[in-house]
Amino acid sequence: MDLGHLKRKFINEAEALLINFDNTLIELEKDNKNKALISETFRIMHTIKGASGMFGFEKIEEITHELESLFDLVREDLMEVTSELIELSYITADHIRSLLSDELFENEENISCHSALLSNLKSFKPESKHNYQVQNSVKQDVKKIASWHILFYPNDDIITRAINLVYTFQDLFLLGEYRIYNKPYQNGNGQFWSIFLTTDQGYSAIEESLLFIMDYCKIYQIASYNIFDSHEFEKFQYSQAEERNINDMALEIAENKGNEPQKVIFQPTKEISKKTEQKYKTDHVHVDAAKLDSLMFLVSELVTTKSELLTALNSYNIEKALVAGEKIEKLSKLFNENALNLRLVSVTEMTEKFKRLIRDLARQLGKKIDFVTIGNETELDKSIIDHISEPVMHLIRNCIDHGIEMPEVRKTRRKDETGVIKIETVKSGNYVYISISDDGNGIDTEFVYNKAVEKGFINPGIQLSEKEIFDLIFLPGFSTAQSLTNVSGRGVGMDIVLKKIQEIRGEISIVSDKNSGTYFNIKLQQTISIIDTLLVKACDITYAIPLDDIESCILEAHENIMDKKNHLVKVNGDLVPFMYIEELNGEKDKKETDKLILLKKHGKVFALVVDLIIGEYQAVIKPIGTAFNNVKFLSGASLLGDGSIALLIDTEKLWQINAGN
């Protein structure tokens, strides 16, 4: 088993837990007596503490232990949740994030911060802590305590079964006091972790907590008392040089105390591989069991149909072979849909990360802000979620800094002191629409216009529509900020936001009313890996055009309707600009049999001239190589059934070229 897989899994799950921790603290700030929220903060720290110790993050285990102890005191009504405790908790969560990427604890800033933070956490405990410890000790004395030794033998099945180890061990650690040897050891059965637990719950509780990984565990009862209260626990300090099995020592101590250890209940069933170094990959996708069930059904259908096809071919039964071929075609479409669904994750994965950001920035600027989300259950491709997070975060920063007014200003405008930032997500067809809005200042079009003139982006006196003025905001180097701030002046302009969105073939527009608020509306395809296209040919090159961007096709000979001199074509009584792919490639050869593809982008129609329209095609999009770096209107390629290549046309880039002309 490559233990790097498990460590990476822990890091991903710890990061998700920290986001949950931040959001729980935000709610706890509003209701500091809420027992459920207090228990949740304790549970999260307890969970991270247990798992971090197992995976060698000793400093994380150390820091979470201290914060966990504070919230344990709060649970026992020996402390109150104060603003100071909340702030200290946020600082601790941020420090844990830093430690997750500093496993060897080498970063000097982390080292200095760690000791200072530990000191603060320890000094935060009230004087009543001693009394609490005495009370807790008395409670434990009246319970029947036993000590257990658990050996955990992980293997690759844990990864393929998508078992959540963090939550599994959380249930175990909640049973009592525990110790973990944070480095894996080796014996005749393979690599294992060693866990010691004292609890009054008995074997059945341990079995229930380890339900999903019992096939990978050995369990021994080694004492009928709390082994951590005796010096004998020091005998378990394992030394690789001695090459002694930890379990042998457990047996030895148990025998010396007259306790007969229980037999091994479960044995690992798979061979354990040696630990190897592996670089962490970037992300995980949590998949619904129903989606996996659907995938397994399709696999079984495909296997059956394949057998039918082979039988038909062997018996030269063309009719049955054609039927099997049709079934395979249908199955391939279903596989396509299922594969895309496996990659879909809810927008919650993105929006949950913004709660802490908005809370911190609002406090920093002295503003009051509520964060509202609608349509969080809407799903997007994981790669799109990852790609869109940065531009959405920048839009939120702008809403906080430029949009939401100070409380006293909002009062004068007869608004609530607390501003609202809202993210609303709606799915329509194959598109997802994300709206990021605020109820603040709005955009002053006159101010934006004058700023554009001042910076030389437009000539004085030129007439622009409201939309065109808003579009000026996305120009490189354009800014309406009076001065750079730590919130929005971070080297990321609105031009970068536009670029990021266009990279995934998305669109963004602005709607705003002065003193009422601003809406940033983003339009995205739900997935960008497999799309419906129209195949065309020009100069013996096959191109694929996204079907959703096509208004219509015109097959009439172009000389009847085209004004070649002005590059305009008459369509339904309107003049529409057109362009040749040949011209975009530097070619000049134009034929009299050209066909017109009418494209619609941003509410405007323009035409593309091609030699031949082949037909519709569901394209699996792959990135194109560096050889096409200079061809700006291409965004990918797809392998056709005959082995040839179709180049995907980026209609957004075509629109920009057309608008530039």
Secondary structure (DSSP) of 202-261: -HHHHHHHTGGGGGGEEEEEEESS-GGGSGGGGGG---TTTT--HHHHHHHHHHHTT--P
Q: What is the mean pLDDT of the chain?
A: 80
- At 557 the pLDDT is 62
Give the integer Cα–Cα distance in Å for 276 and 249.
28
Is the CA virtual torsion 346, 350, 353, 357 positive or negative? negative
Given pLDDT bands bounded at 50, 70 and 90, which one contains residue 522?
very high
Give the integer Cα–Cα distance in Å for 182 and 189.
18
422-455 burial, b for 16+ CB within 10 Å, e for fewer?
bbbbeeeeeebbbbbbbbbbbbebeebbebbeee
- At 554 the pLDDT is 81
CATH for the stretch 143-275: 3.30.70
The DSSP output letter for 496 is H
Measured at the CA of 36, the angle between CA 33 and CA 39, to 5 degrees, comes to: 95
| pLDDT above 80 (res 394) | yes
- Return the structure tokens found at 373: 């989300």
Given pLDDT bands bounded at 50, 70 and 90, which one contains residue 526?
confident
- At 239 the pLDDT is 38
Between 639 and 630, where is the model more confident? 639
What's the average model confidence in pLDDT over 113-117?
Answer: 88
Measured at the CA of 247, the angle between CA 246 and CA 251, to 5 degrees, comes to: 125
What's the average model confidence in pLDDT over 327-340?
Answer: 83
- Return the structure tokens found at 595: 């066909």
Given pLDDT bands bounded at 50, 70 and 90, which one contains residue 243?
very low
Q: With H, G, I as helix, E, B as strand and everything else as coil, classify residue 409.
A: helix
pTM, rounded to two decimals: 0.65
Between 236 and 489, where is the model more confident? 236
- At 558 the pLDDT is 60
Question: How many CA atoms does the CB half-sphere of 458 hold within 13 Å?
Answer: 18
Strands 379-381 and 604-610: unpaired
Given pLDDT bands bounded at 50, 70 and 90, which one contains residue 291?
confident
Reading across the β-sheet that carries 146-152, which strands appear in turn?
176-187, 190-199, 146-152, 217-223
Q: What is the 3-state secondary structure (H, E, C) of 37-85?
A: HHHHHHHHHHHHHHHHHHCCCHHHHHHHHHHHHHHHHHHCCCCCCCHHH
Q: With H, G, I as helix, E, B as strand and everything else as coil, classify residue 304.
A: helix
Given pLDDT bands bounded at 50, 70 and 90, which one contains residue 192?
confident
Place of tokens 């626990």: 233
The one-letter amino acid at 285 = V
Give the integer Cα–Cα distance in Å for 449 and 470.
9
- At 160 the pLDDT is 64
Q: Are 152 and 217 in contact (CB under 8 A)?
A: yes
Given pLDDT bands bounded at 50, 70 and 90, which one contains residue 504?
confident
Give the integer Cα–Cα distance in Å for 90 and 84.
10
What's the length of the chain? 661
Q: Are 342 and 394 in contact (CB under 8 A)?
A: no
- Superfamily name and number for 530-660: SH3 Domains (2.30.30.40)
Place of tokens 């998305």: 506
CB neighbourhood size of 290 (10 A)? 9
- At 661 the pLDDT is 59
Q: Where are the alpha helices (DSSP H) in 265-288?
A: none
- At 60 the pLDDT is 94
| pLDDT above 80 (res 561) | no
Place of tokens 């919130």: 487
| pLDDT above 70 (res 587) | no
The strand ranges marked E within 448-573 are 507-513, 517-525, 530-538, 541-546, 550-554, 562-563, 568-571
The pair phi, psi for residue 428, each rounded to 5°, is -140, 110
Between 403 and 479, where is the model more confident? 403
What's the average model confidence in pLDDT over 52-58?
Answer: 83
Between 630 and 80, where is the model more confident? 80
Place of tokens 């259908």: 301
- Superfamily name and number for 1-139: HPT domain (1.20.120.160)
- At 442 the pLDDT is 94
Fold classified for 347-525: Heat Shock Protein 90 (3.30.565)
| pLDDT above 70 (res 105) | yes
What's the average model confidence in pLDDT over 515-529?
Answer: 87
- At 264 the pLDDT is 34
What's the average model confidence in pLDDT over 562-575?
Answer: 78
Tens of pLDDT, residues 260-281: 444 333 333 333 222 222 333 3
CB neighbourhood size of 241 (10 A)? 5
- Return the structure tokens found at 132: 């609490």
By mean pLDDT, which of 155-159, 237-241, 317-321 is the weakest? 237-241
What's the average model confidence in pLDDT over 87-107?
Answer: 91
Between 165 and 280, where is the model more confident? 165
Given pLDDT bands bounded at 50, 70 and 90, which one contains residue 284?
low
Between 429 and 264, where is the model more confident? 429
